[in-house]
Amino acid sequence: MCPSHVRLTAERIIAWLNLEPLPIEGGYFRQTYRADEMVDAAALPERYAHPKSQGSAIYFLLRDDHFSALHRLLTDEIYHFYLGDPVEM
């Protein structure tokens, strides 16, 4: 747990949450959850060539001196904003 009297910086959050650089896309991340059960590819829409986990969750941090490359995913994502500045697109 991060003490409440410590000033949060990107570097402290990266260390505290054990985030790692995310290749190609940019930013820092750590997967915090992946469901044990899979959905067979035959039960999924055609855009999926392989079985998929029923769900997953990550932490993602984007520093002001980094970028996140625009990309398209096959699956819906839900974002939760916890703190920081607006992102410019």
List of the chain residues with pLDDT < 70: 1-4, 88-89
CA distance 27 to 64: 10
User: Which residue range(s) make up the domain with 47?
Assistant: 21-79
CA distance 64 to 86: 10
Number of domain units in the chain: 1
What DSSP state is assigned to residue 65? Answer: T
**Residue 87 forms part of a structural domain:** no
pLDDT of residue 73: 84
Residues 3-18 pLDDT 10s = 667 788 999 999 999 9
**Residue 9 forms part of a structural domain:** no
